[in-house]
Structure 1
């Protein structure tokens, strides 16, 4: 069986700003750059499609609804030291929706990209 990357599409307000955020702050690599409409970035087996206002993914639905950034669905990135990662990202002026919370499975927090899409940063509990 051939393993292919898992692809997720995020609607973004500005593709260039999103590339800078994902590559500069979260360790993604540019796979395809078709600015200003679209880009894809990768991190491990995750391929994130960044669809700007001019992309085909941003076209209105038949009923008139428009795909927009934000919401609560999210990608989850595992980090080795959540407190350290949060401190680093906050020092870069990035926006979080909440403080770190801890449960049985580990600790997590919700980071927003420049368009308001959510990235969950997660540190598994030590077992």
Structure 2
């Protein structure tokens, strides 16, 4: 894929290498560029996640009152949420919410090392 074919999201992180390790080891991303400690990007299908450390241009362009993680999150679809819960728990990752069910499916939330949220979602069958 070319850069313009990816949907890119920027997450501000304190430790770029810890974020790379988290996303590649636990969530199926592959490393695309590593310019740690300033910046890295990881890929999962058409998603390009930009991991910007404190010295990156993306972090420097952000107003000081807008640097904390919010309720926004990336949404990753999984085939078997219960298996993912077990895998993440076995890896020692803190799951922030128990499975929540709704008309569209089930989900859990976890956070990356910088506190950015990730939703693992299994669509209803």
Give the TM-score of the pair, scaled to structure 1: 0.90
- 1:39-118 to structure 2, matched below 5 A, reads 39-59=40-60, 61=62, 65-118=64-117
CA distance in 2, matches of 1:65, 1:115: 16
Q: In structure 1, the residue corresponding to 2:5 is in which secondary structure?
A: coil
RMSD of aligned residue pairs (Cα, Å): 1.6
Query: What number of residue pairs does the alignment pair up?
Result: 123
Give the TM-score of the pair, scaled to structure 2: 0.92
CA distance in 2, matches of 1:48, 1:60: 18
**Offset, 1:60:** 5.5
After TM superposition, what 4+ stretches of structure 1 lie above 6 angstroms from structure 2? none
Segments of 5+ residues of structure 1 without an aligned counterpart are none
The answer for the alignment partner of 2:26 in structure 1 is: 25
- Residue by residue over 1:63-110, the C-alpha shift from the partner in whole angstroms, topping out at 9 and shown as x without a partner, is x52552421101100000001101110111112221001111000011
CA distance in 2, matches of 1:79, 1:37: 30
The answer for the alignment partner of 2:38 in structure 1 is: 37
More helix by share: 2
